[in-house]
Structure 1
Amino acid sequence: MNLEFENTRRFWGNEVVRGNLIWPDENVIRFVKRNYKPGNIILDFGCGTGRNAVALSKDGYNCIAMDYTEKAINFIKQKAKEENLNISTVKNTGFEVPLQENSVDGIIADGSLFYNKKSDNVTILTNLAKVLKPDGKFWANWRTKRDFLFAQGMDMGEGLYKLETGTKREGCCYFFADEKDVIEMYEMSKLSIETLDDYEYTDNNRTIMNSYYHVVAKK
């Protein structure tokens, strides 16, 4: 793995330990509840603290929590044990998705896909599509070029930027997309986009703009 990849993995591993991300994302929960029933198998790709997997498991969904950081996997294992939750954990090491093909009903990827260059994102999406059952749906979010982090660092090519000194994410890489990028990535991955929506909000007295695309795709 390259240094940028390791910097990003280290940052998010530490975020898990700090416990900064503990509440489920209402957009993710709404997507699952609209499209799936308790008992369905949901893959939480890049699960982090497992905040979404935990909430869904409590509502009767069979969740697979997958992450590339050992800290995240250990955190969610302990959480599942303490609360007696039906959550399986799987550690991946990069772009692969080590599950059987056509084995999950739905996929959620909340804040886990925008750390690689465009061509690598296509590889990840393609691998995720393989494990999704026919007609299965896949929710993901992507940072847009309107986001406050855009261009705050070294241009690494293919929409990827390495953040500079002075931010808590120093050394981490972020991918920023426009609508054309998103459409092309999904087309190349053989996934059909059902909905593509803007989702934006501000922080710090409206001085920070967080800007995302929310995408629902179907196999």
Structure 2
Amino acid sequence: MNNQEKWTQLHGNSKHQPIYPHDIYIKCVFKNFKKESKILDLGCGAGRHVKFLAENNYITYGCDYSHSGVKHTKELLNQYNLKAQVELANVNELPYENEFFDGILCWGVLYYNNKEVIEKAACEIYRVLKQDGKAFVLTRNLNDYRYKHGVKNNDKYSITIQENNPKRSAYAENGMNMYFFDKEEVKRVFSMFNNIEINTLEIYHENNNICDSDYVILLEK
């Protein structure tokens, strides 16, 4: 089962349909985008961030490669009588015109793809973002425990998740191929942007023995 098939399966399970938006996501949106900005939630999953954008008066778009994720997002919008355009799409082939969005948020999505798809996704984010627009990308870095405990593949940044403890969040990702970043790789992949800001977000578990380590990346066109 590939990553896309796995996520289609997971998004059909209520356990993998989070309700509340990520607090850093909220801060990124409110700090950087005025109301009625046109914003894309790229890789919207089960729809929590699409719902947040729509209920806060942003012109909201969402897309995901998971049929079940798109279905649940639309159901969530209908449940709360909210409006957004949501469709099935891959990160490396976006169905939008050039310079269409004021902002793009891609939250915990890119690392489920291989290097070639990620490179094309970076070009697509740049293409559909307006001049002077901003994109926020959350992705995992080499300090993440999944990287340290996973099975290394041929590429330095690519590993297969190996987690047999059902109490850990990575258990649902067991067997998935995942792409991790260091700062040099972030700068290489997103080199077309005028400005790149990289900040680390870490959460520790089990008496600081397990670390979820991410980069929150700001990209300005």
TM-score calculated relative to the size of structure 1: 0.90
Aligned counterparts of 1:38 and 1:94: Cα–Cα separation in 2: 25
1:215 corresponds in structure 2 to 217
Aligned counterparts of 1:191 and 1:142: Cα–Cα separation in 2: 17
2:197 corresponds in structure 1 to 195
More off after superposition, 28-37 vs 158-167: 158-167
Aligned counterparts of 2:144 and 2:214: Cα–Cα separation in 1: 7
Listed as ranges, the matches of 1:1-219 within 5 Å are 7-19=2-14, 20=16, 21-93=18-90, 95-151=92-148, 152-157=150-155, 159-164=157-162, 166=164, 167-187=171-191, 190-219=192-221
CA shift at 1:94, angstroms? 5.6
8 Å CA contact retained: 2:41, 2:106? yes
Q: Deviations over 1:34-54 (max 9, x none)?
A: 111221111000000111111
8 Å CA contact retained: 1:111, 1:140? yes
Aligned counterparts of 2:101 and 2:152: Cα–Cα separation in 1: 37
Q: Secondary structure at the match of 2:94?
A: coil
Gaps of 5+ in 1: 1-5
Provide the alpha-carbon RMSD of the alignment: 1.7
Aligned counterparts of 1:46 and 1:115: Cα–Cα separation in 2: 11
CA shift at 1:156, angstroms? 4.0
Q: Secondary structure at the match of 1:71?
A: helix
Aligned counterparts of 1:55 and 1:136: Cα–Cα separation in 2: 20
Q: Secondary structure at the match of 1:23?
A: coil
Q: Deviations over 1:150-170 (max 9, x none)?
A: 041241425111224734323
1:3 corresponds in structure 2 to none
Letter in 2 for 1:163: I
Aligned counterparts of 2:121 and 2:179: Cα–Cα separation in 1: 14
More off after superposition, 86-95 vs 171-180: 86-95
Q: List 4+ stretches of structure 1 deviating above 4 A.
A: none
How many pairs are equivalent? 212
Q: Secondary structure at the match of 2:4?
A: helix
Letter in 2 for 1:203: H
8 Å CA contact retained: 2:35, 2:56? yes
Q: Secondary structure at the match of 1:196?
A: strand
Q: Secondary structure at the match of 2:113?
A: coil
Gaps of 5+ in 2: 165-170
8 Å CA contact retained: 2:112, 2:179? yes
Aligned counterparts of 1:81 and 1:183: Cα–Cα separation in 2: 39
Aligned counterparts of 1:194 and 1:66: Cα–Cα separation in 2: 24
